[in-house]
Amino acid sequence: LLMDPRAALEAVGAATRAVVPVHLYGQCADTAALAAGLPPHVKIVEDAAQSQGATREGRSPGSGGIAATSFYPGKNLGAYGDAGAVVTDDEESADLVRALANHGGIAKYRHDVAGFNSRLDGLQAVVLRAKLARLADGNAARRAAAARYDELLADLAAAGRLTLPVTAAGNVHVWHLYVVRVADADRDTVVGKLNAEGIGAGVHYPAPVHLTPAFAPLGHGRGDFPHAEQAADRMLSLPLFPQITAAQQQRVVDTLRDALR
Ligand SMILES: Cc1ncc(COP(=O)(O)O)c(C=O)c1O
């Protein structure tokens, strides 16, 4: 479910100013293929909200480019409230973003551009600084838990009942979410049964962007993005967090098995 660089490049036109690949669920989209094919006036702005610590071919989001990330509490690196950051190794972009986030200027009462208030709260920074030191261990624990789900669900996948997530070549995945797709069951019924057993399964996400009222003015309809539409109807996320135990995962899988029966 990562952006298809070829399809994205075909959609680029004279009015395109930027492409925003989302490093979805914890693994990086192929920004190198995008960069190689884009005309120079089109920027890449990476959405790394779900991929803190992820790499593709050894490259982190934002290196040699610009990426935004979210420290919303549910993220791999989550604050105790809303927070976020832009990461880049380009000084000019960094200065512009610092100014934009601070009412358009770095010096007090000097406004070089029309900005807004998007400063990182100092209290959140304290939390994030402490949690940053544990990010790599947390991501490793997520990888181990994802591998355990892969094993526990292998027979359902082999029987064609479920599609399991895959890690794209060259990627180090950080498993923000473990998202499976049901083949022949009613997804909402399955999620309902898991939730009724106290299992926090979710749907990320029930509506593709082009079918939301917010983006209706762009004029897209059902059928325009068939992969996203099909995924939205069939996907569900299983509980995954660094501290999840093998016994908890077994219970999730047993309950899922029952729900699919
Ligand atoms: C892929 C992705 N992009 C953007 C966001 C938005 O992050 P925030 O709510 O911190 O602005 C999120 C978080 O919900 C996300 O998962």
pLDDT at 247: 98
Specify whether the CB–CB gap between 143 and 45 falls below 8 A: no
Q: Does ligand 1 have an atom closer than 6 angstroms to the CB of 70? A: yes
**Same domain flag for 92 and 80:** yes
CA of 70 to the centre of ligand 1 (A): 5
Q: Does ligand 1 have an atom closer than 6 angstroms to the CB of 84? A: yes
CA-CA distance, 171 to 68, in Å (whole number)?
Answer: 19
Going by CA atoms, what residue is nearest to atom 6 of ligand 1? 70
pLDDT at 204: 97
The pLDDT tens digits for 81-91 are: 999 999 999 99
The pLDDT tens digits for 191-225 are: 999 999 999 999 999 999 999 999 999 999 999 99
Sequence-distant (6+) residues with CB within 8 A of 260 are 156, 161, 162, 182, 185, 190
Each residue's pLDDT expressed in tens, for the chain with a length of 261 residues:
999 999 999 999 999 999 999 999 999 999 999 999 999 999 999 999 999 999 999 999 999 899 999 999 999 999 999 999 999 999 999 999 999 999 999 998 999 999 999 999 999 999 999 999 999 999 999 999 999 999 999 999 999 999 999 999 999 999 999 999 999 999 999 999 999 999 999 999 999 999 999 999 999 999 999 999 999 999 999 999 999 999 999 999 999 999 999
**Same domain flag for 140 and 256:** yes
Last residue of a domain, one of 132, 158, 183: 132
State the CATH number of the domain containing residue 215.
Answer: 3.90.1150.10
**Same domain flag for 9 and 126:** yes
CA of 48 to the centre of ligand 1 (A): 9
Last residue of a domain, one of 63, 97, 132: 132
Number of domains in the chain: 2
State the CATH number of the domain containing residue 43.
Answer: 3.40.640.10
The pLDDT tens digits for 56-80 are: 999 999 998 999 999 999 999 999 9
What is the domain range of residue 195? 136-260
Last residue of a domain, one of 132, 148, 182: 132
**Same domain flag for 164 and 213:** yes
Find the helix or strand (DSSP H, E) in which 86 lies. strand 84-88
**Same domain flag for 127 and 144:** no
